Structure 1
Amino acid sequence: MINPEQYVSNNVCKRNVSLVINEFAKELKNISGKCMDVGCGPGDVTRDVLLPVLNSKATIIGTDIMENVVEYANKTYNDKERLKFEMLDIQTKKLPEKYISKFDHIFSFHALHWCYDIRQTFENIYCMLRPDKTMLILSVAHHAALFEPLETMAQDMRYASYMENKGKYIGSFQYSAQPQEELKELLEDIGFQVHHCSHREINMYTSTEKFVSFVTAQHTFAFLNKMPHNLREEFKNEFTRMYSKIRIEKYRGRQRNYKLHNDKETDVPLHYTILVAYAQKIIS
């Protein structure tokens, strides 16, 4: 079972969320209605980072696909007045009636890149918004050190039967040459008016151990629960090895074969790119 406390203690992405929220603070402070945080995880970012920047009259429903994570969030961060948590698979083809056209704003941070049906995901977000209301999302675009090992391992006979559909592990825009343009075109085709869409580089310093602990606590890695203990440990070790190797290789490539001291990754930033979009539901 995914350990929510492990996720909270190793949440390496809070800084990215804070930066984006601060960037859109002017728009967010006027939001006073009903909001949703899609893929909220254990709820710490929803309560500690997101809720304080909204109008004091705003309420949030945090949604996540993991039952035990939602239970943890309700137990730890529930606020009867402004914040609660519920289960939702944002890729569902049968969106619950209680969510349709009910929200004034929808957020999602570091979650949508795991959606293999990204169009259905954004169609559901569109359906949940009231007319003229808005969404703000931050999603990973390119992340070689994360997605490349997973794609390879999903085809390894040792792990394939547990991981099943390899498309779940690649990332919605990992192989997109122009992710910003593709996302904007997709959103506009669904019916959004896109007020902002950007593709940004991220360089962050975090240990391999901390990053692997954080990422394997997410729903995408729930298949680990099905593995016998020895195979699970083998998978984690192999994933860690490949992640570290690719992280260093990509850094050397960007630095033109810069030689690391003692061949260690201590001074190697984790490099990836993100997509940020702020869009509005338009009814023609």
Structure 2
Amino acid sequence: MDEKEVYLSMDKPDLYNLGCAPLTLLAAKQVDDLWSVLTWPRQPLPVLDIGCGPGDVARKILAPRLPPGTKLVACDISTKMLEFCRQHNALPGTITYEQLDVVEPDLENSAVWQYAPFGKVFCLLLLHWVPDNRRAVQNIHKLLVPGGEAVFSIIANMVFYTAFEEMAKDSRWGRYMQDVDEFVSPYQHSEDPVSDFCQLLQSEGYQVLHCDVAPQVLFFPSEMQRRGVGSGVPALSARTTTAVPRSHLHQHLVPGCEGDRLLTSLEEQEVYISMDKPELYNLGCVPFTQLAAKHVDGLWSVLTWPRQPLPVLDIGCGPGDVARKVLAPRLPPGTKLVACDISTKMLEFCRQHNALPGTITYEQLDVVEPDLENSAVWQYAPFGKVFCLLLLHWVPDNRRAVQNIHKLLVSGGEAVFSVMANMTHYTTFEEMAKDSRWAQYMQDSQKFESPYQHSEDPVSDFRQLLQSEGYQVLHCDVAPQVLFFPSEMQRRDFLKSVCPFLNRVPEDKKDNFLDDWLQRMEKLNGLSKDVGSSEEPKYYIHFNIMVVMARKL
């Protein structure tokens, strides 16, 4: 490696990034929990994200929440990780990516020093990889303005650290794990990590405002994805074990306070799923990427692959996360992936943030295109596989869509569909369209409903459609589905991004409209909140979804 052998395979950003979605969600929850108590000066000072990794937290979590005009500097020890950030998570005018080792002894000559002092420093899920926590918090103190605030989250202990220590004593693995102590959190064996970290901070000139430790669980939609995270860690990929986090140390500190200021809002857009606002949609798409991964994993073993690879098509690729993080890593070597979407702005986002040269090509396509043979995608046909995930519930003319997919497939080619059969937000749209307060903004509400919203047997209906268009249906079922969001703010922001009517509502009525919509969904059990006895609340969206696999006859 060019850099020291740092934990989390920092010279393999693509590999690490494949499994980082649960960690991004965890970071979002930590930020949301403390955001309202952070203080913001009238004249914005720059904000620093230390240990930014692939840049998802900087672009998806921090940047959208910052007050207007605030500069975000995101730094990492790895030059290769920073190259990945600049390619996939660039946000010109807001985020600057720079190299920094958090224990840098010559801090004043680092690339980050030129932007100091910082009003806020976020050091999320980093310090458990850093043996010298004292030097790290000293450097962060130097980078902060007096009265500036820092937010830390640290894994206090974790069973894979214990497993490493046990395996290092095993004759089969000991020779590969002689440096095991370098890969163990400084707080792994602490009887009171909260007290230890608080004392460290106080001794280095911080006032500690919040410090606690709590159990934490990361959710992975499949065994394959959870196992895949392990391959992103050098001590795992070379020395093999699996990891399940047990707890994290969540820290908010301040050497002084000012007045509170809340985060800014984002603009919504009229087009469903914000197809011309890919940044907005992408902020909340992580649960859907995980859901798509679950559907793909559930059917992957029964897909058939020819010796000579044929291209694969991803229709309705959105921001490109599924194409790059879910499909591309699973394809046989040498397989070309064509990912398409109706939105040119979404495709621009894909090419900027989810490019994978030599493997993925992004092209424009309307799945109901009447002149398919002259579309940009036709040149790559025939395809051996077509994935049409979480798309057809937005398409009123499902017949034309499956006809086009049939034309694009090679004989014997296979298609995988996932389709929302019904969802309470469709029901609430119908109700609100009859409400005198909202009717004028929702006259076309039926355009935004799943074709299967009122079907008594959506599986039978979709199966018959496919069979009538020349498919053999190999698998077709419908099941309840739950999407998890780590905070109420994230769930609310996501629903705002997929509401087609909100931008039509006058500014002074938008909050009332949104509140009415969410309350109606809650009454219909489409939204729920789980408050456990010892855990933070969890927020869910409920719906039914069909997963289908079919073969072209």
Q: Does the Cα contact within 8 Å between 1:90 and 1:124 map onto a contact in 2? A: yes
Deviation digits for residues 214-240 of structure 1 (CA, Å, limit 9, x no counterpart)? 35425xx2896xxxxxxx3xx23xx24
Deviation, 1:27, is 3.6
Deviation digits for residues 132-178 of structure 1 (CA, Å, limit 9, x no counterpart)? 1110111111111x212233445667766766643221112111111
Structure with larger Rg: 2
Q: Does the Cα contact within 8 Å between 2:124 and 2:152 map onto a contact in 1? A: yes
Deviation digits for residues 227-280 of structure 1 (CA, Å, limit 9, x no counterpart)? xxxxx3xx23xx24xx5xxxxxxxxxxxxxxxxxxxxxxxxxx45111111112
The one-letter code sitting in structure 1 at the alignment partner of 2:144 is: L
Give me the TM-score of the superposition, normalised by structure 2: 0.40
2:19 corresponds, among 7, 10, 16, to: 10
Deviation digits for residues 31-77 of structure 1 (CA, Å, limit 9, x no counterpart)? 63211111110101110011111112211111111111111101222
Output the CA distance in 2 between the equivalents of 1:5 and 1:26.
Answer: 33
Unaligned runs of 5+ in 2: 2-10, 257-553
Bigger shift: residues 171-180 or 71-80: 71-80
1:60 corresponds, among 72, 94, 99, to: 72
Tell me the residue number matched to 1:22: 32
Deviation, 1:191, is 0.6
Tell me the residue number matched to 2:130: 115
Tell me the residue number matched to 1:126: 141
The one-letter code sitting in structure 1 at the alignment partner of 2:75 is: T
* 1:141 maps onto 2:115 in alignment: no
Seen in structure 2, the aligned counterparts of structure 1 residues 59 and 163 have a Cα distance that, compared at 3 Å, is: farther
Output the CA distance in 2 between the equivalents of 1:159 and 1:67.
Answer: 31
Output the CA distance in 1 between the equivalents of 2:215 and 2:142.
Answer: 30
Output the CA distance in 2 between the equivalents of 1:159 and 1:127.
Answer: 42
Seen in structure 2, the aligned counterparts of structure 1 residues 273 and 222 have a Cα distance that, compared at 3 Å, is: closer
The one-letter code sitting in structure 1 at the alignment partner of 2:253 is: A
* 1:50 maps onto 2:62 in alignment: yes
2:98 is paired with a residue of what secondary structure? strand
Matches within 5 A, 1:222-261: 232=238, 235-236=239-240, 239-240=241-242, 243=243
Deviation digits for residues 164-203 of structure 1 (CA, Å, limit 9, x no counterpart)? 6432211121111111111111100111001111111112
Output the CA distance in 2 between the equivalents of 1:34 and 1:155.
Answer: 47
Unaligned runs of 5+ in 1: 225-231, 244-269
2:146 is paired with a residue of what secondary structure? strand
Output the CA distance in 2 between the equivalents of 1:136 and 1:155.
Answer: 36
Tell me the residue number matched to 1:199: 213
Deviation, 1:25, is 2.1
2:121 is paired with a residue of what secondary structure? strand
* 1:217 maps onto 2:232 in alignment: yes
Tell me the residue number matched to 1:76: 88
Tell me the residue number matched to 1:90: 102
Seen in structure 2, the aligned counterparts of structure 1 residues 83 and 222 have a Cα distance that, compared at 3 Å, is: farther
Seen in structure 2, the aligned counterparts of structure 1 residues 148 and 156 have a Cα distance that, compared at 3 Å, is: same
Tell me the residue number matched to 2:340: none
Q: Which has the higher helix share?
A: 1
Seen in structure 2, the aligned counterparts of structure 1 residues 190 and 142 have a Cα distance that, compared at 3 Å, is: same
Output the CA distance in 2 between the equivalents of 1:178 and 1:9.
Answer: 33
Give me the TM-score of the superposition, normalised by structure 1: 0.75
Deviation, 1:115, is 0.5
The percentage of counterpart residues that share the same residue type is 23
Output the CA distance in 2 between the equivalents of 1:223 and 1:96.
Answer: 35
Q: Does the Cα contact within 8 Å between 2:156 and 2:193 map onto a contact in 1? A: yes
Seen in structure 2, the aligned counterparts of structure 1 residues 90 and 164 have a Cα distance that, compared at 3 Å, is: farther
1:277 corresponds, among 242, 251, 255, to: 251
Q: Does the Cα contact within 8 Å between 1:4 and 1:72 map onto a contact in 2? A: yes
Deviation digits for residues 3-53 of structure 1 (CA, Å, limit 9, x no counterpart)? 323322311212221111111222447363211111110101110011111
- Structure number with greater CO (CA < 8 Å, separation at least 6) is 1
Seen in structure 2, the aligned counterparts of structure 1 residues 110 and 43 have a Cα distance that, compared at 3 Å, is: same
Seen in structure 2, the aligned counterparts of structure 1 residues 200 and 165 have a Cα distance that, compared at 3 Å, is: same
Output the CA distance in 2 between the equivalents of 1:163 and 1:10.
Answer: 24
The one-letter code sitting in structure 2 at the alignment partner of 1:274 is: H
Tell me the residue number matched to 2:296: none
Seen in structure 2, the aligned counterparts of structure 1 residues 142 and 48 have a Cα distance that, compared at 3 Å, is: same
Deviation, 1:78, is 2.1
CA RMSD of aligned residues (A): 2.6
Seen in structure 2, the aligned counterparts of structure 1 residues 208 and 152 have a Cα distance that, compared at 3 Å, is: farther
